[in-house]
Amino acid sequence: MDATEPRFGAELLKLTRRCRGIDKYVSSRARLTIDELHCLSVLFSEHPSSVKRLSELINVSSTRASKILKDLEQRGFVSRTQDAEDHRKEQVLLTVTGSLAVTEIFSFYAEIGSELLTSWRHELVQDFSWLLQTVQQAK
């Protein structure tokens, strides 16, 4: 399959819909919204330096990202403190509770991934691998 073929677009669309379904499933198990789920995982893996950068990484507005952080802070998943060098900025860190939630989230995704891969035919695993590589190279 070539990335310029219409089939590639169709397969990528199917994959994104499937991923949305997986996100919904994991968010319900973790008792978080999908945006909260993405926020926690990005804070864990990317350590964004600003709310603006976080909003870009989770694909929401800065206003929405601030609201997500406020909700997560109220629930004990993150802590926010003023940046020591630039008081206009704030530092957002995962708390122990937030880190444990991310570990649980990642285990849910790993469980789903394992179930998917063991149930797929060899050719489908190869196509999926190719699709992931193609998407990664396009970044």
Query: Domains in the chain, please, with CATH?
Result: 6-134 (1.10.10.10)
pLDDT per residue, tens digit, the chain (139 aa), is 565 677 777 877 887 888 888 899 999 999 999 999 999 999 999 988 888 899 999 999 999 999 999 999 999 999 988 877 877 778 888 999 999 999 999 999 999 888 877 887 777 777 778 777 877 777 5
The per-residue pLDDT for 3 is 59
In which residue are the tokens 């952080």 written?
69
